Every structure is written in C-alpha cells, then in structure tokens.
Chains A and B, each alone.
Chain A
C-alpha cells in the first residue's frame, strides 16, 4: 500500500465519522519545509463526540490493526493510538487525541484545507506558523533544524511573525527562534 493511499483511508474514515482532524508530523513539516520520507501517518483528532477514536479505528479495521493499549505522549499530543497496516506492517498509523493545551487548541482551530491529488481528497493541515511554533516549542535538535528550514523556505516576510512571537513568548522559546533565524545562510 502506498503511503498516500493509507493517508487517504485515514482521512476518509475521519470524514465518514464526522470527526475533525488534521495531518501532523512529517506531512505537516513537509508542506512548509524540505520534504522528507516518513514511516508513519500521523493524524490529530478532535475527541468531541462519543467514542470518536473507537469509531475511526473501527472504520479502519479492514486495513489497520490497532493495539489495545493507548500510549501516553504527554510531551507531544497527549494520548496516542498506534496501528499497524495489515499486509504492510512497516507502515504505521498514529492517531493523536487533541488535548487541552492553549497552543494545541489554537493550532487546531487555525488549520487549513488543501487538496491533495495523490490522496484524492481535501485534507486539513496546520498552518506554517503553527508548525514553526510547535517545532520551536519541542526543541529537539531535529525540531530546531526543521524550524530553521520552515523560516528559510517560507521567508519571514511571508510568515505571520506577530503570531509566532506571541506563542514563542508564552512558550519561552524566543531564543530558539532567534537561533533558527541566525542559522539561515546569509545568501538566502
């Protein structure tokens, strides 16, 4: 199964169950940074409504086998449900429950719709500014490289920097933002 087919199946399951979602991780970064490969289809889901996650998991049951255990990923998105793709166990689906954090909620609220011909559907994704703020907040070496890439490719003049500064102020990640900007070669 190609990864775009898998992403399409997850998106279709969310739409069919009327669940708000947005793509995350490598897909979200790749939209605004330097595209790279991934092994996971990561989706953030709003859990408003009854048995939201279970309904999406049930709808995917022909293609993806989810484990019984919910993993807690409190440093990233909260609860995480991990499923292996049947027939293609090297691919994984991770469903993250939207959790009650002011930035995470704002990011989800500001999500944008784009059409992917490969997926064959419109999909919800975070904005460039939100991916940037999130990367600066997480602050791993890879995240800081990703933050630099997003700024380099999108360019400061095209980013809502007031919004970025607002959240970096709250998250105390302004120094990381300054470093990311300073690491962009001067010729760009």
Chain B
C-alpha cells in the first residue's frame, strides 16, 4: 500500500466517523444536545480528577481539586493564546 492510499483510507475513515457523529447529533433537539454537554462535562471532570489523584498519589479530594484547577488554568491560558482572528469589529 502506498502512502497516498494510506492517506486516502485515513480520510475515508475520518469522514465515516464524522458522518456518524453528525447523524447522531441530528437526531437530538437543542435541549437534548445541551443535556449532552452537561453530561460530558461532568464525566470529563470526574475522570480528570481521578487521573490527578492517581498520577499525583493524592488521597484528599480537595487537594486533588486544587491541582486539577491549576492544570485546567494552564489549559485555559493555552486556549486563550490562540486569539480569534476577528473580522469586522469596527464595521
């Protein structure tokens, strides 16, 4: 298999995954999609907290929350680093 074929197969796979996500989202109402945002957020934060407690060998949940808070703050700084290329602000 050539590199071009591998790339083409990868794009096909990515498209198939994306199409599945879009088709699922289309079956939901805005209210249901918002409910998914809540559920995903709670799940992700819980897993991140478990990860911090495991990685840093922390038993105290409040201490783990502070460490996680610090890590998330760093993520926010990275996110904010890519400033929007805003157009038309003064139009």
Residues of chain A at the chain B interface (Cβ within 8 Å): 2-4, 7, 26-27, 30-40, 74-76, 84, 87-92, 101-103, 114-118, 125, 137-143, 149, 152-153, 155, 170-173, 185, 187-188
Contacts and interface: CB of A to CB of B under 8 A. Distances in A.
B76 A39 contact: yes
Contacts, number: 135
A153 B85 contact: no
B37 A36 contact: yes
Interface string B71-91: 010011000001111111101
Given A27-B37, A30-B36, A103-B88, A90 B30 contact: no
Interface residues of B, number: 41
Q: B interface, by DSSP: helix, strand, loop or mixed? A: helix
A79 B39 CA distance: 29
A84 B37 CA distance: 20
Contacts of B75: 39
A11 to B, nearest CB: 12
B87 A139 contact: yes
Q: What are the nearest 9 A-B pairs in CB distance?
A: A171-B88, A138-B84, A35-B36, A30-B37, A89-B69, A37-B44, A31-B30, A37-B40, A139-B85
Interface in B42-91: 42-45, 48-49, 62, 65-66, 68-69, 72, 75-76, 82-89, 91
Contact of A172 (B22, B34, B87): B87
Contact of B69 (A2, A90, A142): A90
Contacts of B8: none
28 contacts: A2-B38, A2-B42, A3-B45, A27-B34, A34-B25, A35-B34, A35-B36, A37-B41, A39-B41, A74-B89, A75-B86, A75-B89, A76-B84, A76-B86, A89-B65, A90-B45, A91-B45, A114-B34, A116-B34, A118-B38, A137-B84, A138-B86, A140-B85, A142-B82, A143-B84, A170-B88, A172-B91, A187-B19
